């Protein structure tokens, strides 16, 4: 029998996923009348999917890479909070899927929940209890194989909102094992004993160049700092909290550079002209655009523009080959 794990890390899933050809999603034509029926419809689609990837290779992007690196350094098991799968181990095989709780005009789940007068918390409750085995935080803490281990929960505010009822249902003895790493905005969403378990990371972390980044990956960058620099996963909570406080005191929040706003077409032209400079790398082009050209572009918007340029280049290449 395996001995209990000493540390486990829980991070959020990402919109960026490995392309597998088959993508599980909701459709405007789906007619579920309740959030419970919607969850069951979704789970049936997940269970029917054939092609699967380990969660560790399905999710892409810096936030997930930071979490994987932290798990490696801490010799910890890594779990993912997924809006489509609940709490899953990184070794679990998952189908590619398109589902998020983030509010946007094309978010099918968000639209359906809004029509039902339900929230992302209601979705999480319905989702996690309707799988063959419960996939909630409470179920994870009740797993005897994980008894007495420290749990580092590094997620953005949107995920704390989704997990709210799940977190509130934890026993006091389980809450005492939590170390919550999130933004100041995320921390403000918590109350009582949960709020007390938040580590005091804030935007001063940007003052350390090794851990600077975007708001989207703040929690995961702070997690890596906590594990790599402070070895906080090895410390009692009180000492770990003091170490984070001291680390933030010696850092200064960076003044962000003033970036110019440009139209979609202007940004696409810049990417097209400099595509080969960064070998078409999405992350490198974004850094070049923001840091070298000082152009303002939110990450989600940039991803869409990058995809358009990639398609234009592919179509142009096919055209030249056809003429030849």
Q: What pLDDT score was predicted for residue 201?
A: 97
Residue 270 and residue 234 share a domain:
no
Residue 146 and residue 272 share a domain:
no
Q: What pLDDT score was predicted for residue 284?
A: 83
Write the Ramachandran bin of 117: left for phi over 0, alpha for psi from -120 to 50, otherwise beta. left
User: DSSP letter at 17?
Assistant: B
Is residue 280 domain-resident?
Answer: yes
| 160 CB-contact burial (10 Å; exposed 0-12 / middle 13-18 / buried 19+) | buried
Give me the domain span that covers residue 282. 260-323
Residue 80 and residue 113 share a domain:
yes
Closest to 62 (Cα-Cα) out of 292, 283, 289: 283
Is residue 2 domain-resident?
Answer: no
Residue 270 and residue 205 share a domain:
no
Is residue 95 domain-resident?
Answer: yes
Q: What pLDDT score was predicted for residue 277?
A: 74
Q: Which of 215, 230, 249 is the last residue of a domain?
A: 249
Residue 211 and residue 97 share a domain:
yes
Q: What pLDDT score was predicted for residue 106?
A: 62
Is residue 254 domain-resident?
Answer: no
Residue 56 and residue 34 share a domain:
yes
Residue 165 and residue 94 share a domain:
yes
CB contact at 8 A, 99 and 42? yes
pLDDT in tens, 11-33: 999 888 887 778 999 998 998 99
pLDDT in tens, 25-75: 999 899 899 999 999 999 999 999 999 999 999 999 899 999 999 999 999
Residue 283 and residue 199 share a domain:
no
Is residue 36 domain-resident?
Answer: yes
pLDDT in tens, 276-296: 878 888 888 888 888 788 899
Is residue 255 domain-resident?
Answer: no
Residue 289 and residue 308 share a domain:
yes
Q: What pLDDT score was predicted for residue 181?
A: 98
Q: What pLDDT score was predicted for residue 300?
A: 86
Residue 206 and residue 141 share a domain:
yes
Residue 199 and residue 73 share a domain:
yes
Retrieve residue 165's tokens.
């009822």
Residue 276 and residue 242 share a domain:
no
Is residue 87 domain-resident?
Answer: yes
Is residue 198 domain-resident?
Answer: yes
Q: Which of 249, 273, 301 is the last residue of a domain?
A: 249
Looking at the DSSP bridge assignments, the partners of residue 285 are none
Q: What pLDDT score was predicted for residue 114?
A: 85
Looking at the DSSP bridge assignments, the partners of residue 7 are 150
Phi, psi of 119 (to 5 degrees): -115, 175
Ranges of residues in the chain whose predicted pLDDT is under 70: 1-5, 102-106, 256, 319-324
Domain count, the chain: 2
Q: Which of 249, 274, 297 is the last residue of a domain?
A: 249
Q: What pLDDT score was predicted for residue 170?
A: 96
Q: What pLDDT score was predicted for residue 1?
A: 38
């Amino acid at each position: 029998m395996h001995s209990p794990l000493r540390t486990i890390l829980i991070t959020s899933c990402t919109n960026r996923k490995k392309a597998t050809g088959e993508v599980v999603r909701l459709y405007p034509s789906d007619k579920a009348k309740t959030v419970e029926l919607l969850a069951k419809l979704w789970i049936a689609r997940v269970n029917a999917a054939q092609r699967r990837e380990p969660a560790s290779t399905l999710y892409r992007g810096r936030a997930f890479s930071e979490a994987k690196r932290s798990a490696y350094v801490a010799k910890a098991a890594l779990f993912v909070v997924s809006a489509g799968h609940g709490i899953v181990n990184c070794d679990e095989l998952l189908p590619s899927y398109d589902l998020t709780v983030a509010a946007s005009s094309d978010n099918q789940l968000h639209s359906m929940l809004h029509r039902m007068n339900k929230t992302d918390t209601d979705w999480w409750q319905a989702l996690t209890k309707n799988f063959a085995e419960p996939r909630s935080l409470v179920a994870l803490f009740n797993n005897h194989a994980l008894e007495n281990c420290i749990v580092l929960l590094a997620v953005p505010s949107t995920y704390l909102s989704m997990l709210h009822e799940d977190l509130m249902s934890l026993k006091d003895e389980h809450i005492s094992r939590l170390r919550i790493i999130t933004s100041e905005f995320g921390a403000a969403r918590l109350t009582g004993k949960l709020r007390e378990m938040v580590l005091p990371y804030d935007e001063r972390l940007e003052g350390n160049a090794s851990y600077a980044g975007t708001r989207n990956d703040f929690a995961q960058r702070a997690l890596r700092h906590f594990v790599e620099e402070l070895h906080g996963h090895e410390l009692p909570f009180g000492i770990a909290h003091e170490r984070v406080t001291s680390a933030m005191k010696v850092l200064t929040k960076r003044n962000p550079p003033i970036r110019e706003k440009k139209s979609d077409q202007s940004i696409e032209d810049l990417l097209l002209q400099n595509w080969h400079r960064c070998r078409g790398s999405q992350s490198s082009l974004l850094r070049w655009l923001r840091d070298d050209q000082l152009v303002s572009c939110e990450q989600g918007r940039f991803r869409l523009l990058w995809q358009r340029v990639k398609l234009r280049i592919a179509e142009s290449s096919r055209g030249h080959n056809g003429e030849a």
